[in-house]
Structure formats: structure tokens, C-alpha cells
Amino acid sequence: MADPSNEFQTIQSIGSKALLKQITNFDAYKREEVVTSVGDDAAVVSDDGDSLTLLSSDTYVEGVDFDLTYTPFHHLGYKVVAAAISDIYAMNGEPHGMLINMAVPNRISVQMIKEIYRGIYAAGENHKTEVIGGDLKANHSNLVITVSVYGKAEKKRITYRSGANEGDAICISGDVGGALAGLRILMREKKYWEEHGGDEQIQPELGDYEFVVKSQLVPEARRDLIETLKTHDIIPTSMIDVTKGLVNEISELSEASGLGAYIYQAALPIAIETRHVADEMEEDVDRYALFGGEDLEIMFTLPEKEVEEFVNHFNDFVVIGRMVPQEEGMQMQTAEGAVVSFDELS
Amino acid sequence: MADPSNEFQTIQSIGSKALLKQITNFDAYKREEVVTSVGDDAAVVSDDGDSLTLLSSDTYVEGVDFDLTYTPFHHLGYKVVAAAISDIYAMNGEPHGMLINMAVPNRISVQMIKEIYRGIYAAGENHKTEVIGGDLKANHSNLVITVSVYGKAEKKRITYRSGANEGDAICISGDVGGALAGLRILMREKKYWEEHGGDEQIQPELGDYEFVVKSQLVPEARRDLIETLKTHDIIPTSMIDVTKGLVNEISELSEASGLGAYIYQAALPIAIETRHVADEMEEDVDRYALFGGEDLEIMFTLPEKEVEEFVNHFNDFVVIGRMVPQEEGMQMQTAEGAVVSFDELS
């Protein structure tokens, strides 16, 4: 087990995803009832009945995943829960309960914690999910929050990343890139504020940017999509939630399904407000859409025929491409008609 | 919701337990299938069948809960899992799976993370618990680990803190105070090492203290107790695991059960090795036993008659007192025969 070399290998040098893969190769204890563990949005465990239990947990680190200088505490509480719950929706399941663990530095007051919890409970209410446990520990420097969610999926409805078929349409709910556009605005305002001596009298003017700032601070997990799929008995062939950016998510889904993907740049769902921000920043809005994370939208695949049916019931999604044989790789047709591989994009 | 006063109230000033209680008074979303949420060792959720699902999560903070200067990484991995799993045993249940979330500073290498996981998997093996998920995030300063465990209990066997009856014997597995004694030794060695310029050639001599150091670094959760109870179909009236010290745990259990407790100082199970450390430190070993945490032993209550039966099957527990009416409060009879209230102890 021990590495023979004494060299200090940083986690950044191999990436946390690769490290987790190396670790999970260990000859570890396995239980019969565990259907899938690492490798999808949530772990899946067999129940006695017709349902499956889904479990997922995410850690959010102050200074890495969020910045308290521009994040209201109740928004923070709402967002960490929405993001954790989105992993359950991404399995076509419903969240039921959550455990909240916080490591709290002493510059965070009782009132601030209560504000975070106000957001947590608001998200719980909207997503019918009860806070059932967790703890509160002291930390030296920064706030660290872990949200663990459990939920249920019907055995016949559960949807994995790995189920996409050749020819399936790649669909995505809502729009993408908005959360990154919001982050850009908030970072600009923070910089301005710092350069002006941190004067508390200067209030950032965010009114014009409400849409994108909201996309960043309080993104909403797509319960509506999951409910509509259920109502009309449509089961996607595969699903994943968009938290690290479209390119990453399409790649994950294609790899898990043993396929390639072909997408159309012109079809990327980008809000007009997101375009305005990119223009103002003199940046490429398509990069926001392709690489921006945290939108909490759901990417899913459906046979063409079912897309035609589903569009009658749910209007907040678009088709951005289709699944192709693995040997065709990952490609995007640009608005100008050129075809570029995903490798050229990054 | 917002507090009208603008005063900065620290979490320490009211305590995290009181704060969590205040928070859970919020008018939050509740689900029908949640039997109990906060307030016991684990949350309890109804399944469709004859079992209940148990869920619990704990956060461990470097510099607060553990010190990497004297904690081998694989021991750390083992301990955080054993401690989290102990909460499932404390409901008379069996752990099945766990999610591991880490926020990792860049002075922690790939090899160190693998060593932590080696300990995690070793604990998983011993407790038949599979690692089913989690994540790995960057952190700025210190290592923060959250372990979330789920398990199962039979409906007829689940044991809450609240079920103790007047006259029940208060039993405890193993011995207590050993983990604190080990911490004392490790802190002394660390101080010595620091005072001698942190010379890596000076290896601490811990051979004489193996028992207590092991109690601190790799305490074992009491699967054996839970299995033996099951084999002989004995169900305690109440249970709690000893992680914050006997006095705290007896108080929690008594409060939950609406009773008082009367314990005998002379009956406290203290290992000879723990006594030696207290003698060497010129400290009171009974304080180690009463206030030392992290031993991961299980406190449980049984009617006298069942104690007599259980002692034939399991020899690693002792009776330290009995449950009394609430109005008699929390008291300890000292070795000299005096009776002191718990309030006088601290």
C-alpha cells in the first residue's frame, strides 16, 4: 500500500477525481445491497421493497467554494442544500432527509449560524426534505459545511449516468453559464470595494445583475423536471447534474455510457442576462456556458421520439446534441459550422 | 427570525448543543417517515419492512479533534470511522455504509490521503461497512473530515436514549478514561519534542503506554456487545455511546428518559494502565473516567434480572449504578461513602 518513493505528491498534481479512483481500487469491504457506490451522482442501495435508497454528500469550503464577503448567510444555507439535493434529482430520485455538519470559526456568531439555518430550512421546505441530524464543531480558520442527503428512487425509474444509447438526444434543463456570470460580477464588486478601502458606505449596485447574481448565490435544484418526468411516466436513459460545467458533465456521462457526444454550439441555452455580463467583461459567453459550473441544471438523454412527447409537458429544456459511437469522440459543431473536439476547447 | 440585538454572540457563549436545540425549534419541513431526528445518537427513519434506517454524521477538525503531530494517518482514518459507527451501535443497530468527505490543505500529500483511507477501509472491514461515497475538496489551512454513516436496526430491537426505567442497572462496556490518559501522554511527548527543537531524531518512547495510546489513537467501537445482545435476544432499555465522558452521557440518558441516576465511584471501570498514567501525571484518575471522552464504549440500561442473564454471555461490562426517580437528581457515591451531586463534580 505504501508508496515506495518518498516524493511528496500533491493532490493537485493528480487531481482529486483520479485520487478517489485510485483509492476505491483498494480491496475494501463490500456489501451485497450496495448497487453502486462512487462513480455516479449518488450511491444506490437496495431496499427490501420496490424502492432504492440514494445517498450523497458534499463539502463546501469557505474561500474555495464560497466567499462570505458577498454571500448572505441565508443564501449560503439555501445553496449548499440545493446543490446536495441536486445529486438526488440527478438519479431521478426524491430527496427525503439531510444531515448538516459545520466546522465553525469563532468570527461566526450565533446569529449568523441561525441565518445559515434559515436558508437550509427554506431549501428543505421547497424540496420536501427534513433536517434529521448533523453537528456543529469549532474550527480555527474558515467555515466548512458538509451536507449529506438521502432520498428514494423507484427501482424502475432510477437513472444512471451510464444508460445513454447511441442516437439519444442530449437535453439540458434551464440555462447554463448564469452562475459563473454572477460570480464574475460579485468578484468585480468585491475588488472595487477592496480597492476603495473596504468602505462599508459603498453598497454594490447589483440591481442590473439580479438574474445572474441569483444564479450564483441561490441556484435552484430542478425538482420540477423530476416531477414532470414522473407525472408523464418518461424515464431518461441517463442523467447527471451540471455542477462542474457542461463539457465536464457531457464527458462524464459519455464515458460512463461508453459513447461519444456531438453537440451544437448554437444550441447552448444561454440567458440574455448572461450574455450581457460576458459582453461587459469582454469575455466569450460560450465559455461561460461550456465551463461554468454550479448552475444545478440537469443534463439528461432521451430517445428522439420521447423528446417530442416530453416537450408537450415541459418547456424549460433544450436539445444540445446527441450521443454518438465512442470512436467518434467528443465534438462540438461551432456556430460557424466548424467541428472541434472537446480537447481543443479547454 | 433575525435577532433584534446587534450584539455579536459567540457560539461558545451558548454552546453548540444549546444552539442546535434553538435551531431545531424552527418551523421546519417534517416527513412522516422520520421517527426521530436530532436528540439521539443517530436519526431514525422508517423503512417499508421490519427494519429502520439509522443515519448519523460527525465532523473531525484538525487542531480541535485531532493533532497530526502525533496521529499516524491510518490511525486517524480508523478512528473517525470507528467513532461515527459507534453512533449506530448506540442505537442497537448495525452499520452498513458510509460517506467520507474531506477538506484537505496542500501540505497533505496523496500518500497521506491513501494512508488515511487505509485506516478507513480497515475500520470498514472490521465493522462490515462499505465506503459508498463522499468527496475530496481543497482547504486552506487544516484537514476537516466528515463521516456520515447509515445502518439498520430491527424495529423490535432499536434502543433509544429515552427508554430507561426506574431501577434499571446502568451498565458500561469495557473501561473508561483510557483515551484521555493516552492523550495526556501524547501531549507530554509533543511538548517535550517541541522544547527540544523538534528534532526528528528524538523518537517518543511510548512502549510503556501502548494501552492508553491505543485507546486514544485507535479506539474500537463495540460491535461485539451489539452482536452478543442480539444473539441472546436481550434488548437494553436505553443506550448511548461514551464520546464526551461518563458524566455527560449519564446526564443525557437520564434527561432523555426523564429520570435521575445514582452511580458508585468504586464501580467505575478503570484499567490499571490508565491508573498508572494518572499517578505519573499526579492527577485524579476518577476525573479521567468521569470526564474523559472518546472511549467509544457503550452505556446501556437493563433491568436487574437481565443483567444477571447477560453476564453469563458477555464479560466485558460492569454495572456502575442505577436509574432513580428524576427528583433524586444525578448523584455519585464516592469511594469514601459520601454522596455528591454531579454539579459538584465538575
Summarize the annotated binding site of A for ATP as residue ranges.
117, 134-135, 161, 243
For domain A32-154, give the CATH number.
3.30.1330.10
Q: What is the mean pLDDT of chain A?
A: 91
Q: Range(s) for CATH 3.30.1330.10 in chain A?
A: 32-154
Alpha carbons B114 and A286: distance in angstroms, whole number = 38
Alpha carbons B6 and A110: distance in angstroms, whole number = 11
Q: Range(s) for CATH 3.90.650.10 in chain B?
A: 161-345
Whether residue B46 has pLDDT greater than 90: no
A20 touches chain B (CB under 8 A): yes
Lowest mean pLDDT among B152-156, B169-173, B188-192: B188-192
Given an 8 Å threshold on Cβ–Cβ distance, is B139 in contact with A61? yes
Given an 8 Å threshold on Cβ–Cβ distance, is A59 in contact with B103? yes
The answer for B 74-103 residues in CB contact with A (under 8 A) is: 96-97, 99, 101-103
Alpha-carbon dihedral sign for residues A313, A319, A322, A323:
negative
Provide the 3-class DSSP secondary structure of residue A320: strand
- A303 or B14: which carries more pLDDT confidence? A303
Whether residue A26 has pLDDT greater than 50: yes
Alpha carbons B77 and B82: distance in angstroms, whole number = 9
Going by DSSP bridges, is the β-strand pair B259-264/B330-333 parallel, antiparallel, or unpaired?
parallel
Alpha carbons B105 and B211: distance in angstroms, whole number = 31
Whether residue A24 has pLDDT greater than 90: no
Sheet holding B43-46, edge to edge: B34-36, B43-46, B51-61, B144-154, B94-104, B130-138
A19 and B134 Cβ atoms separated by less than 8 Å: no
> Which of A304, A235, A57 shows the shortest CA–CA distance to B97?
A57
Over residues A247-260, the pLDDT tens digits come to: 999 999 999 999 99
Given an 8 Å threshold on Cβ–Cβ distance, is A38 in contact with B133? yes
Q: Range(s) for CATH 3.30.1330.10 in chain B?
A: 33-154
Over residues A36-69, the pLDDT tens digits come to: 877 788 899 888 778 899 999 999 999 999 999 9
A32 touches chain B (CB under 8 A): no
- A325 or B17: which carries more pLDDT confidence? A325
**H or E element in which residue A126 lies:** helix A110-126
| Percent of chain B with pLDDT strictly greater than 90 | 76
The pLDDT, as a whole number, for residue A204 is 62
Q: What is the DSSP letter of A243?
A: S
The pLDDT, as a whole number, for residue B129 is 95
B23 touches chain A (CB under 8 A): yes
Lowest mean pLDDT among A2-16, A144-158, B277-291: A2-16
B230 and B286 Cβ atoms separated by less than 8 Å: no
Instruction: Provide, for chain B, the percentages of residues in helix, strand and coil under a 3-state DSSP scheme, each rounded to the nearest 5.
Output: 40, 25, 35
**3-class secondary structure for A73-110?**
HHHHHHHHHHHHHHHHHCCCCEEEEEEEEEEECCCCEH
State which fold the B33-154 domain adopts.
Answer: 60s Ribosomal Protein L30; Chain: A; (3.30.1330)
Name, of A1-10, A32-41, B205-214, B271-280, the range with top average pLDDT.
B271-280
Given an 8 Å threshold on Cβ–Cβ distance, is B29 in contact with A124? yes
Given an 8 Å threshold on Cβ–Cβ distance, is A142 in contact with B141? yes
pLDDT band at B223 (very low <50, low <70, confident <90, very high): very high
pLDDT band at B1 (very low <50, low <70, confident <90, very high): very low
- B241 or A19: which carries more pLDDT confidence? B241
> Which of B60, B146, B64, B143 shows the shortest CA–CA distance to B103?
B143
Q: Please state which architecture CATH assigns to domain A161-345.
A: Alpha-Beta Complex (3.90)
Lowest mean pLDDT among A45-59, A157-171, B1-15: B1-15
Summarize the annotated binding site of A as residue ranges.
41, 56-58, 65, 87, 117, 134-135, 161, 241, 243, 294, 342
